[in-house]
Structure 1
Amino acid sequence: MKIDENLMDAQETQNKKIKMNPRKIIRTATRGVARYLTAGFNNKSGKGISNNDDIKTILICRPNHRLGNLLLLLPLIQELESTFPNSEIDLLVNQSCAIQLYKNYDTVKEVIELPRKPFRNPIKYIRTLLRLRSRKYDLAISAVEECFYGRVCTGISNAKIKFVGDMDSGVKERHIAKQVIYSLRFFLSNIGFKSNVSTPDSLDLRLSNDELIHGGNMVYNITQNGLPTICLYMHATCAKYPTEGWWLDLYEHLQKAFPDVNIIEVLPKENVSKFDLRAPALYSTDIREMAAIIASTDVFIGTDSGLMHLASSSLTPTIGLFSDTDTEKYKPYNEGSVAVKTNEVEIDELIVLVKNNLYPDLNTSL
């Protein structure tokens, strides 16, 4: 069963509304102005720094608060840890759960938070930028090339070396978490630094043993057995998610295909189920606890969302369900993870993907 025509019509209507939305129009105009104003911020190579060991302090600029975007910084942080092992890293983000996310990264020394709505908090916004400007860094990085606010913050930082993007690394990579790594490697090698040549690391939240044990206990308390577990997440913003009928059909197929496997649902922060709680449900407001719960399951199936990337960062094989989003740019990419277009893939094909992760040593061809 594919997503029905009614959903496609709903998505088309939603897209028309977005095009007519004054906020969207203003945001587009603002980005155009920002693109013009930031054209003068370019990459900068520092003087007197020529060895990897010379890089002691690093700033990553990603002024954003969304869970998925913050999680997608993890491969970059790991890249910097291995390239500059004697360094410390500060992160510039918007007010968010970032401190929780990076708590087990010892190299991350401080998370500097800008207010989410600068026009409502102009004094705090300016103070934070002045505080940023007062600090000295060996290297500052804008984590996403098309993020103009990140480009501005990198440009105004007091750093000896500045990387704002605009580098064609020669590597055809569209994933947003990997693009910056390949571009940064190319930039560093051009100015005399030794860069990595290995495949960029996957998202890794670095859950502690205590967190994993706690998450496992929560899953066991609801399943009361040690059987494999499939985790479902059905929420997403706008028109990204399939219909409730689609989810019900998938659930029935999963029950039939895997009678000896647990199926649970994780709920969003609103603590509501779009599934009428047909499957046992788990809920948490603690983002790391939620990741530990997912880490204790065997396969995660969820919509394109921050929770999808959280599942990926918990190192659980993740099947990301996409509609109109660019899958190559935002897909989960830890081991065993795939992205599928729900209007292009039959549920029977999804069952095969699940089976491949639950029983990798078996022949699961249809």
Structure 2
Amino acid sequence: MDPKNSINTIARKAFGHLMGCFKNKIGEAVSTNDAIERILICRPNHRLGNLLLLSPLVQELESTFPNSEIDLLVNHSCAIQLYQNYDNVNNVIVFPKKPFKSPIKYLRALVRFRSKNYDLAINAVMESCTGRLFTSISKARFKFVGDDDADKTERHIAKQVIYSLREFLPSIGVISNDAIPPNLDLRLANEELIHGGSLVYDIVQNAHPIICLYPNATGTEKWWLDLYGHLQKVFPDVNIIEILPKENSPTIGVGVPFLYANDVRELAAIIANTDVFIGPDSGMMHLASSSLTPTIGLFSVTDMEKHKPYNEGSVAIQTHGLKINELIVLVENTLYPNIST
């Protein structure tokens, strides 16, 4: 067995046993929501999608504690960029993804983390052992690490923490929110959207609707070529473009216009200027959802109920046994929601 895999397995088992030791901390209740001024969200993860999935929780905290400052504990500095238009987000504490390869950076981040006092610390994902650990060792008056006995009716990873937190907050004297959980939202500024629109127009040169495809990492080239051919046939007046990571070559080819950007916000602004995004469960899918573009998420391995896009006009579909014509109907309903198919 690979020694690295053995160490990871042992570490996961050890953390699994420790999870039961991490409990919510409830002190003397506050008299008003305004007493919660400094908040920490713990999501020690580096993946783009997981960092974007924090945005509904951040919006929930803004609504519940409008005068608060929010710090994010993560494993990737791109969170600074993702939340730059969130006025309540004050600091982003970045731990290295691999602490043993960057011990000095890790210790500096740990010192910075431990130097701060908070009124409320929140573990953003209950199943995260490291999230529970950081929440537990934070210098916070109240700590929400997760509730194993909470109602699991809501399975979506972005919504679950919101509903669980709402059950916890009254125990510390806070009046919780009761609105529908917010969508993912990157809060693109008008100038970003205008810039993204100009990049898209430079490619399509018309005002027709635009289908955005992200074929990376899902299906085969043949499957995407088949889908492209069907889309061309059914929607002859619709533009089709491909979004791709900058290091990749276009998957579809055959003269399909493609766009990429080094800047994640610029890429989101490009997608925001399209009418429907089609792609696999990935950071790019969540980026499309965060741009508020109707998104068709393709799922084959990951849990669809936990990660599906849920902004207006978005749907998720399992690819096992999926027929192209079924996907075409979803695209048509998304492009033309007020027209019966």
SS at match of 2:20: helix
CA gap 1:131/1:277 in 2 versus in 1, 3 angstroms: farther
Mark the runs of 5 or more structure 2 residues left unpaired by the alignment: none
Contact 1:136–1:158 (Cα < 8 Å) also in 2? yes
SS at match of 1:160: strand
Match of 1:74 in 2: 55
Tell me the distance in 2 between the aligned counterparts of 1:21 and 1:285.
35
Contact 1:92–1:114 (Cα < 8 Å) also in 2? yes
Tell me the distance in 2 between the aligned counterparts of 1:225 and 1:282.
16
Cα deviations by residue, 1:81-104 (Å, 9 ceiling, x for unpaired): 001111010000013311110000
Contact 1:66–1:96 (Cα < 8 Å) also in 2? no
Contact 1:47–1:160 (Cα < 8 Å) also in 2? no
Match of 2:261 in 1: 284
SS at match of 1:40: coil
The 5-angstrom pairing of residues 1-366 of structure 1 reads 23-47=4-28, 49-170=30-151, 172-236=153-217, 241-276=218-253, 278-364=255-341
Tell me the distance in 1 between the aligned counterparts of 2:5 and 2:155.
25
CA gap 1:348/1:25 in 2 versus in 1, 3 angstroms: farther
Distance apart, 1:36 and its partner CA: 1.9
Distance apart, 1:268 and its partner CA: 1.1
Contact 1:167–1:187 (Cα < 8 Å) also in 2? no
Tell me the distance in 2 between the aligned counterparts of 1:107 and 1:186.
23
Cα deviations by residue, 1:40-91 (Å, 9 ceiling, x for unpaired): 2210113252421100000001011110000000000000000111101000
CA gap 1:25/1:325 in 2 versus in 1, 3 angstroms: farther
Matched letter for residue 96 of structure 2: P
Matched letter for residue 349 of structure 1: E
Distance apart, 1:159 and its partner CA: 0.3
SS at match of 1:124: helix
Contact 1:167–1:183 (Cα < 8 Å) also in 2? no
CA gap 1:68/1:192 in 2 versus in 1, 3 angstroms: same
TM-score normalised by structure 2 residue count: 0.96
Deviates more, 1:96-105 or 1:165-174: 165-174
Distance apart, 1:270 and its partner CA: 1.5
Alignment root-mean-square deviation, CA: 1.5
Mark the runs of 5 or more structure 1 residues left unpaired by the alignment: 1-19
Tell me the distance in 1 between the aligned counterparts of 2:254 and 2:16.
46
Distance apart, 1:323 and its partner CA: 0.7
Matched letter for residue 162 of structure 2: I
Identity %: 66
Contact 2:30–2:173 (Cα < 8 Å) also in 1? no
Cα deviations by residue, 1:148-174 (Å, 9 ceiling, x for unpaired): 111111111100000000254435011
Matched letter for residue 104 of structure 1: N
Contact 2:285–2:295 (Cα < 8 Å) also in 1? yes
Figure out how many residues of one structure are paired with residues of the other and give that number: 341
